[in-house]
Amino acid sequence: MTSAGLATGPAEALWAAATAAITDAVRADAQVLLVCHVNPDGDALGSMLGFALGLRQLGVSRMQAVFPGELVIPPPFQGMPGLDLLVTEEAATADPDLLVCFDAASISRLGSLASRLTTAATSIVLDHHASNPGFGTVPLIDPRAAATSVVAAQLLDRLGVRLDAAMAECLYIALVTDTGSFKFSLTTPAVHELAGRLVATGLDPGEISQRVLDSRPFGAVKLFGEVISRAELEPAAAGGAGLVWTYATLADLTKYDQQPYVMEALIETVRGTAEADVACVFKQIGEREWSVSLRSKGARDVSAVAVALGGGGHRLAAGYTGAGELTEVLATLRTALQ
């Protein structure tokens, strides 16, 4: 199934299949494995843990949650409910009865955990990236959804799960991070209705926003200043729509004693440049390896660019991994944008 075939969201038969698979797993006391993508953001981790707490309410007792790579939780998410369900990549069961995947636009985003898609008896994939090809036994992919948490909440509703404050906190963090505090274009009336339901469980939106979005170490503030000072504006790039870009290196992290997660917020500052439709931040992750974050105001489909370069995402927000020297990766991007 292609992403184009999923443009209108999951068919009713897929919702029914997902509901039946989870109901059967509860009835059979099955081993359930929940996975999300490498370096999980708020939507990946929040959707996975919120859904896990919902499964716990249904009676799932044998359950693990995992993501590829080292089991390190960024400080903004360290108070999130459900973290006790997380296990290391090595400890994750090799052949679960049911696998549920969250927010992974491609199989490659699951790293070595991708093998569980074939060893699991059934795999349900919850996602909202338009570039998702529709992998898994039951692909619940809705590119109209503002966040994977929207898809997760819909499935929890179909399962008859009653939202509580712990579940709601995870889903709200997922929703607020992936909508940019409800300012991105996929923020529909339904998104605000879901946010209202979540807040009604007793959440404090101000406290959550302060903890998750509006707090960073002083070293990160200094790092941001240096990286932003390097920004370059290319008005003729992207077919004349304009490109603004900057980069952050591993040496920058060492200089300011910061962890890689702090660089994720850089793109939101860069994307505000009025003279450019496309914004980009190159974040070094290896000697000749760069995580590339892309944003568009609408003139360019950065998802198409990211897919062409081995990544994925949405029309206005996407990313990929580039190999080579920064000048080489930048040149490849310039060509793709033209």
pLDDT per residue over 264-313, tens digit each? Answer: 889 989 999 999 999 999 999 999 999 999 999 999 999 999 999 988 88
Q: What's the pLDDT score for residue 8?
A: 59
Residue 76 DSSP label: G
DSSP-derived 3-state class of residue 213: coil
DSSP-derived 3-state class of residue 95: coil
Least Cα distance to 281 among 230, 325, 234 occurs for: 230
Contact 126, 52 (CB under 8 A): no
218-337 architecture in CATH? Answer: Roll (3.10)
- DSSP structure string for 253-322: HHHTT--GGGGGGHHHHHTT-TT-SEEEEEEEEETTEEEEEEEESSSS-HHHHHHHTT-EE-SSEEEEEE
Examine domains 4-212 and 218-337 and report if their fold is the same.
no
- pLDDT grade for 169, boundaries at 50, 70 and 90: very high
Mind listing the pLDDT tens digit for each residue in 201-239?
Answer: 999 999 999 999 888 999 999 999 999 999 999 999 999
Pair of tokens at residue 8: 């209108």
- Going from N- to C-terminal start, the domains of the chain cover 4-212, 218-337
Cα 60 to Cα 337: distance, rounded to the nearest angstrom: 47
Least Cα distance to 167 among 92, 58, 22 occurs for: 58
Mind listing the pLDDT tens digit for each residue in 92-144?
Answer: 999 999 999 999 988 988 999 999 999 999 999 999 998 899 999 999 999 99
For 4-212, the fitting CATH number among 1.20.140.10, 3.40.50.970, 3.50.30.30, 3.90.1640.10 is 3.90.1640.10
